Amino acid sequence: MGKKKEFRIPDKVYYWLMILPAVILVFLFNTRTWPGILAAFQDFIPVKGWYGSKWVGFRNFRIFFMQPNSLGIIRNTLVIAIGKIVAVQCMAIAFALMINEVRNSKLKKAIQTFTYLPHFVSWVIFATILKSILGTDGMINMILNNLGMEKVAFLGTASIFQPLMIITDTMKEFGWAAIIYLSAITGIDPGLYEASEVDGASRWQQTIHVTIPGIRYMIVIQAVLHLGGVLSAGFDQIFNMYNTLVMSNADIIDTWVYRQGIVSMNYGVGTAVGLFKGVIALVLTVFAYWAADRFADYKIF
Amino acid sequence: MKKKMTAGHVIIIAVLILLALICLYPMWYTLICSISDRVHVEAGNVWLLPKGINFASYRRILSDELYFSSFLVSVKRVAVGCTLNLLLMILTAYPLCLPQRKFPAARFIKWFFMANMLFSGGLIPSYVLMRQYGLFDSFWAMILPGAVPLWNIVLMVNFFRNIPYELNESVTIDGANPLQILFRIYVPLSKPSLACMFLFQFVGHWNSYFDGLMYINDRMKQPLQTYIYQLNVQIDYAIMSTEDIIALLQTSNKTLQAAKVFVALIPILCIYPFIQKYFTAGMTMGAVKG
Amino acid sequence: MKRKLLSMLLAVSLMAVMMAGCGKNDTSSGSGGTTQSPAGTTAAGTKEETAAAGETATAEGTQATDVASLTFGPYNWGVPKDIDYSQPYNKRFDGLEYTRISATGALDLPEGMSIDDNTETWLFESTTGLKTKTEWVAAAGSAFNNKANQSIASGEIPDLMNVGMTQYYALIKAGLIADLTDELVNGNHPTLQKLYGMSDNIALDTLEVDGRIYGIPRVNAQFDSSPLIWIRKDWLEKLNLEEPRTLADLETIALAFMENDPDGNGQKDTYGIPVLASFSAQKGGDGFLCDIFLNVGGAAPGIWQMQDDGTVIYGSLMEGAKDALTLLNGWYEKGIIPSDFATWGADELKETVGNGRAGIVFGPWWAAWSVLSSNVNLDTAAEWTAYMLPEHEGDPIRSAAGNPVSNVFVISNDFEDPSAFVYAYDMWCTTEKLPTDYENFVEVNNAYNPMPTSVSPKAYLIPIRTMLDKVVGSGEMSTMEEVKQACLEEAGVSLDWVVEGAFRAKNVYDAMEAGEDPRAVTVDDMDPVATYQQYLQWWAGPRALAEADPEAVMTVFQGTTDSMEMYNSFLSTYETEAYVKMIMGNTDGQSISDYFDAFVQSYLEQGGAAITAEVQEAIGK
């Protein structure tokens, strides 16, 4: 650093002052709740606190992992959650790129507004609509019937339940997820487009060589941030749509925890599952951070 | 800029319009349910057009004094909460976006934040803490716990990183301090991203009901969504007796459920166009005009 | 670099110390999860508490004051006239204030009333002297439950809570609620003791934990939600079908409805019997199949049964289930049960009936408000009757009687006199439905009631039986007062509100007898639809129950055990899955009998046996 004549507060002091309020607030309102994680290893009785409750080792974890179907539940959770992340993000990116090509601004705004609306409809209502459309007497089966095809019990067939959850969630969420990509696209330096135009690039080539690289970092970061959610497959959706016939393919960790909670008000089991989810997410995030750094030379944060 | 519509464009527009229509249907369905007779809705008769049109549900919501008090609480919450969120987000993101050598401690702070994103002690410890801090029945119970939007900070750090660091250095040499750099260079250059973050935070504050429900006992101090969340009763056959169930069945109401989606959505529909202009500007306008 | 790290660590640790310090201060200043209170000690010392409370009551001057001069609420309501407060069991607690929480968040009150100042709280105070103060209000359902569970978790419960069994056990474990054993068992509370005694004190036994009872059970009428068989009467007449007497007749009717286009829309689009994949006899409801199992083969799915040799068995594993499953499988094969019934929920069921696409549906005696309500509202020609059917003509009928305990009133250890609520509930159950002759009386939703009353096990049966036998039958009674008095004598507690309902319904019955259109009748200021709903609720439903006079089937164990906590979440879905598969005939080529045996085997192996052993032990206590 160059010499300064007058006294100047070092930049690092500014940096610390800028960051301290956030650190303190996070510490006060989140880090201080961490002792609660100990409940995962206790027969937790809230009034007795973490000191008074009985220690039970890994019993709370065993309750989950000793379920005859616990592996199936984890598999369902992973398939549905990863499927959703991939599908929603891909659809959102494709949508953002497509809408970027629309030049009629009224049309553009209308389409954008319509597509983000379903995000605000609750799954209770959404499920009602879907059940009616997909039921054996629903719209789709009527069409199939008219075409002379066999009726399909969409909601009662285990093998198609998972794709169905992924597709319906994508329909509901892609418009909202695209907002972040739209803002990233807006942030791309227009100079880059002008330059490529001078080079005679077509719109398609511009998309491939300018737009996508321009939002690549956002794609990576979204992927990494969503890794934290690979064990959360969307309780509301599954809970409102599953039924006995598809149970083997539909039961996810969160629905299991919910049903477990009905049997007993056991906070330990819920906390144990939360801890398990957190640890998995941490491992995945660290791995993704390392991989992005190592292979793409990109620091996520 | 004038260009001919290519076949590609026609296909894209067709696909987009189709998508928009599909996405519109759930909203449309909710709307027609909210203004139909509840008996028709419960019989599954309402599909394309409302039946037995009436505005009883809206009248019920709007005639309630609690609606207005909680609406004001929500407005205040959004105003205070979003301001604080954005401020903390910008302030926090800036030191973290700098090259490692400028602020080495950032590394640890980032992992501290990451750990806090992934792990939480859960509801009960938070509840106990809020009690300790004396935040029960306080407006700040809805603001402070979520005041640092960690997730958005990570995104913001990345938006900031996209801004060429040379700009930063050139101003530093002119003697500007980090705060000046942040607010004179980074913030104006990040308008689209800030608009996007603002939208997320607006919606987040506007839609959250759980903190209002848990930490606020005085119904006049609860936000709109907490009020709306409680417009409908859920009948719990396991614990309610027949008398209670019959009493509640007569008040349960699917059209009310639909109406509340709309009542809650209106502010978001109002604010969206203002936000939207920041990221529909597209490449022709050029976002970077500082 | 190292120095910076050091300084940062220093800063962080400094901060940590700061935080810890302030946390400590806050903790010591009370509140939070640390308030242990003299919880354990009060639990043991109920007797002293009671004695002390007696003094309080005297000190407040209750016994000295002339109760006739006491008034309550803005309309100055007096104490109920028909209670003799000189009785030792009618102790009043004037001036004693208690806190509660309330699940009335979604309901409206008439102008001028508030949560602590409404018809129910005035009545409660005039009857018992207890003054209500509500800590908070939330809507019934998840809003209320979340908040209530959180307050249990943090140990800050109100003085009075109305909880379910799961919360009851959690509260005992946390040592938050008062032991009421002596008061309930040995105290002088004749109304309550009579109510519990009517079902052999099974409610009190259910609440027992290590020999102690920590709550006042609220008991309900039997067959409260037994799934009756509701049939479209107008369709029966249209297709010239006989009334059913057995389940085989029901099958014939269902097939006729499916084949012969009863709604006359020219399409074969009528369902036979839409049902839900719900089997448990713990609590019936719309679309439930439990009574089919009870009457065909005698299994009692979902509840615990005592066998002749004194061992308990989980009802879903009873051999007899095979017969019912075979019958249901037959219905499924014939298309009587919709092919995708397992994906249906209560909403779909209500829609199907509402649209007039089904003429047979299982629902409780008050189904007029649930599964039938859309149909009755939309189709002004629809008429319904209810039945309970045996497998063979003349067989006795069995039905799910519901849980021994519907919910529990618990009293915080911190409340100065827990026994006050036992006295209060005793008086309240004696009188609550009586004093409607107050000036400016306006009925408010029952959810505002601080302690919803228990009713006699036969509450909904006695009045309709009296009506059928003595009013429309022999004709020896005619006025409402006579019937009210007769019911009071038979039940031991007042059933006036049921009798009033039955008399409203009788208007529709009379019209039917006279050959008039039952759907055109109006009573009081109700429209024809509401009047017809009154008829379905107070006449058609209870009449079916009264005529069938079913044998009550109840669980012998309503609690939870360690193994249940471990395995129930899996086992309950496993059980439903197996049942549905057998009904649908997806039995991997095995006969239903073989498949069922294999299911029982594997159910027991995967935790069922351990649970059974624990329940056996718990019952033998």
Three-class DSSP labels, chain A? CCCCCCCCCCHHHHHHHHHHHHHHHHHHHCHHHHHHHHHHHEECCHHHHHHHCEECCCHHHHHHHCCCCHHHHHHHHHHHHHHHHHHHHHHHHHHHHHHCCCCCHHHHHHHHHHHHHHHHCCHHHHHHHHHHHHCCCCHHHHHHHHCCCCCCCHHHCHHHHHHHHHHHHHHHHHHHHHHHHHHHHHCCCHHHHHHHHHCCCCHHHHHHHHHHHHHHHHHHHHHHHHHCCCCCCCHHHHHHHCCHHHHHHHCCHHHHHHHHHHHCCCHHHHHHHHHHHHHHHHHHHHHHHHHHHHHCCCCCC
Residue C572 maps to a domain: no
How many other β-carbons are positioned within 10 Å of the β-carbon of residue B229? 23
Regarding whether B174 and B204 lie in a shared domain, the answer is: yes
Q: Which residue has the tokens 């069938």?
A: C548
Binning pLDDT at 50, 70 and 90, where does residue C518 land? very high
Residues C305 and C391 in one domain: yes
Nearest CA in chain C to B241: C406
The predicted complex's ipTM stands at 0.85
Distance (Å, whole) CA C558 – CA C304 = 8
Of the listed ranges B212-226, C274-288, C298-312, C487-501, the least confidently predicted one is C487-501
Q: How many CB atoms lie within 10 A of CB C253?
A: 26
Over residues C314-373, the pLDDT tens digits come to 999 999 999 999 999 999 999 999 998 999 988 889 889 998 999 999 999 999 988 999
**What distance in Å separates the CA atoms of residue C535 and residue C540, rounded to the nearest whole number?**
6
Confidence band for C307, pLDDT divided at 50, 70 and 90: very high
pLDDT at C46 over 50: no
Tokens for B151, please give them. Answer: 């997730």
Q: Is the pLDDT of residue B35 over 50?
A: yes
C454 inside domain: no
Residue A20 forms part of a structural domain: no
Name the residue in chain B with its Cα closest to that of C221: B242
Using one digit for the tens of pLDDT, what is the confidence trace for C221-268? 889 889 999 999 999 999 999 999 999 999 999 999 999 999 888 888
B235 and B111 in a single domain? The answer is yes
A27 and chain C in contact, CB less than 8 A: yes
* Cβ atoms of residues B151 and B117 within 8 Å: yes
C566 inside domain = no
Count of domains for chain A = 1
Residue A6: its pLDDT value, please? Answer: 67
Could you give the 3-state DSSP secondary structure of residue C351?
helix
B139 and B90 in one domain?
yes
Q: B150 and B111 in one domain?
A: yes
> Is A263 an interface residue toward B (CB < 8 Å)?
no
pLDDT-above-90 percentage for chain C:
51
The string of pLDDT tens digits covering residues A237-295 is 999 898 888 988 999 998 888 888 776 777 788 888 888 888 888 888 888 888 877 87
Instruction: Name residues whose C-beta falls within 8 Å of residue B91's C-beta, 6 or more positions apart in sequence.
Output: A18, A19, A21, A22, B182
Q: Give the mean pLDDT of A172-180.
A: 92
CB–CB contact C369 B239 (8 Å): no
Structural domain total, chain C: 3
CATH number of the domain enclosing A215: 1.10.3720.10
- Cα of C588 to nearest chain A Cα, Å: 15
Distance, in Å, from the CA atom of A255 to the CA atom of A240, rounded to the nearest integer, reads 10
Q: Average the pLDDT over C23-36 and give the result.
A: 34
- Output the pLDDT for position C325: 97
| pLDDT value, residue C91 | 84
CA distance A171 to C130: 55
DSSP letter at C471? I
Residue C264 domain-assigned?
Answer: yes
Restricting to C residues 565-604, those with a Cβ less than 8 Å away from any Cβ of B are none
Whether pLDDT at C500 is above 70: yes
pLDDT band, very low/low/confident/very high, at B281 (cuts 50, 70, 90) = low
Query: Quick one: pLDDT at residue A5?
Result: 57
Contacts of C348 in chain A (CB under 8 A): 131, 135
At residue C31 the predicted structure's pLDDT band, cuts being 50, 70 and 90, is very low
Q: Supply the pLDDT for residue C123.
A: 87
CA C34 to chain centre: 35
Among C315, C317, C302, C296, smallest CA distance to C246 is for C296
Answer whether C343 sits within 8 Å of A156, measured CB to CB: yes
Residues B222 and B213 sit within 8 Å (Cβ to Cβ) = yes
Model confidence at C27: pLDDT above 50:
no
Same domain, C318 and C351: yes
C137 three-state secondary structure: strand
Nearest to C15 among A27, A47, A259 (CB): A27
Tokens of C335: 């298309």
The answer to whether the CB atoms of C150 and B214 lie below 8 A apart is: yes
Residue C35 banded pLDDT, cuts 50, 70, 90: very low
Interface test with chain B among C104, C134, C150, by most B beta carbons within 10 Å: C150
d(CA B211, CA B221): 12
Same domain, B49 and B68: no
pLDDT band for position C30 (cuts 50, 70, 90): very low
Residues B44, B71 share a domain: no
Contact B121 A19 (CB under 8 A): no
| pLDDT number for residue C608 | 94
- Asked if B137 reaches chain C (Cβ–Cβ under 8 Å), the answer is no
Q: What is the average pLDDT across C136-159?
A: 88
**3-state DSSP helix/strand/coil % of chain B, to nearest 5:** 70, 0, 30
What mean pLDDT is reported for chain C? 84
Residue B72 within a domain: yes
Residue C140: name the closest of C446, C412, C346 by CA.
Answer: C446
Q: Which residues of A touch C338 (CB under 8 A)?
A: 136
**Res B12 pLDDT > 60:** yes
What's residue C583's pLDDT? 96
Residues C326 and C370 in one domain: yes
Which chains, if any, share at least 3 CB pairs under 8 A with chain A? B, C
Same domain, B220 and B280: yes
> Are B43 and B72 found together in one domain?
no
Other beta carbons less than 10 A from residue A104's beta carbon: 11
Mark yes or no for CB contact B247/C446 under 8 Å: yes
Q: Do C570 and A155 touch (CB under 8 A)?
A: no
Domain that holds residue A111: 41-295
Of residues C89 and C59, more confidently modeled: C89
C116 and C165 belong to one structural domain: yes
pLDDT higher for C485 or B46? Answer: C485
In a domain, A283, yes or no: yes
Question: Are residues B257 and B274 both part of a single domain?
Answer: yes
Q: Is the pLDDT of residue C61 over 60?
A: no
The reply to whether residue A49 touches residue C34, judged by beta carbons under 8 angstroms, is yes
Q: Which chains touch C (3 or more CB pairs under 8 A)?
A: A, B
Query: pLDDT tens, B78-125?
Result: 999 999 999 999 999 999 988 888 888 888 998 899 889 888 888 888
C251 and C153 assigned to the same domain = no
Closest residue of chain C to A25, computed from CA coordinates: C19
Number of structural domains chain B divides into: 2
Distances in Å between the Cα of C75 and the Cα atoms of C72, C124, C129, C378 are 7, 14, 16, 41
B13 and B83 fall within a common domain: no
A18 within a domain of the structure (yes/no):
no
- Chain C positions touching A266 (Cβ under 8 A) are 565
Q: Is the pLDDT of residue B285 over 70?
A: no
CB distance C141–B243 less than 8 Å?
Answer: no
Say whether pTM exceeds 0.95.
no
User: What's the mean pLDDT in B41-51?
Assistant: 82
Q: What is the pLDDT, as a whole number, of residue B128?
A: 85
Q: Report residue B64 CA to chain centroid gap.
A: 24
**Token pair for residue C90?**
């009618």
Residues C412, C394: one domain?
no
Pairing verdict, β C360-363 and C228-232: antiparallel
The pairing of beta strand C160-163 with beta strand C407-411: antiparallel
What is the rounded CA–CA span in Å between residue C430 and residue C453?
Answer: 9
Predicted confidence band of residue A149 (pLDDT cuts 50, 70, 90) = confident
Same domain, C385 and C255: yes
pLDDT of A2 above 90: no
Question: How far is C93 from C90, CA to CA, in rounded Å?
Answer: 10
Which of B8, B27, B268 is closest, CB to CB, to A118? B27
Are C139 and B233 a contacting pair at CB < 8 A? Answer: yes
Same-domain status, C242 and C292:
yes
How far apart are the CA of A218 and the nearest CA of chain B, in angstroms? Answer: 8
Q: Do B13 and A171 touch (CB under 8 A)?
A: no
pLDDT per residue as tens digits for the range C70-118: 778 777 787 777 777 777 778 888 889 999 999 887 788 888 889 999 8
Touching check for A133 and chain C: CB below 8 Å?
A: no
For residue C621, pLDDT over 60 is answered with no
Rounded to 10 degrees, what is the CA torsion of B223, B224, B226, B230? Answer: 150
Segment C199-228, tens digit of pLDDT:
888 899 889 988 899 999 998 888 988 999
- What tens digit of pLDDT does each residue of A57-94 get? 888 888 888 888 889 999 999 999 999 999 999 999 99
Same domain, C65 and C213: yes
Kindly give, in sequence order, each residue whose CB lies less than 8 Å from that of residue A4, ignoring residues fewer than 6 positions away: none
Q: What is the rounded average pLDDT of the residues C419-431?
A: 88
Residue B78 exposed, middle or buried by CB count within 10 Å (0-12, 13-18, 19+): buried
pLDDT for the residue A1: 47
Same domain, C74 and C199: yes
Q: Are residues B33 and B77 in the same domain?
A: no
Query: Does residue C565 sit within a domain?
Result: no
The conformation of residue C596, written as its DSSP 8-state character, comes to: H
What is the span of the domain harbouring residue C487?
Answer: 462-553
Nearest to C32 among B44, B131, B232 (CB): B131
Is residue C148, in this structure, part of any structural domain at all? yes
pLDDT of residue C271: 93
Q: Are C133 and B214 a contacting pair, CB within 8 Å? A: no
Confidence at residue B289, expressed as pLDDT on a 0 to 100 scale:
36
Interface probe, candidates A51, A245, A260, chain C, greatest C C-beta count within 10 A: A245
Q: Which structural domain, as residue segments, surrounds residue B35?
A: 1-54
Which among B35, B54, B73 is the end of a domain?
Answer: B54
Judging contacts by C-beta atoms under 8 Å, the chain A residues touching residue C343 are 131, 135, 153, 155-156, 243, 245
Question: Helix (H, G, I), strand (E, B), or coil: what is residue C361?
Answer: strand
Provide the CB-side half-sphere exposure for A280 (13 A, CA).
Answer: 16
Q: Is the pLDDT of residue C532 over 50?
A: yes
Boundary-marking domain end, from C553, C576, C599: C553
Which among C151, C146, C98 has a CA at the least distance from the CA of C125?
C98
Q: Let me know: does C128 contact C377? Beta carbons within 8 Å.
A: no
Q: Which tens digit of pLDDT belongs to each residue from C429-472?
A: 876 555 557 777 888 888 888 998 888 888 889 999 999 999 99
Choice between C61 and C396, residue whose per-residue pLDDT is larger: C396
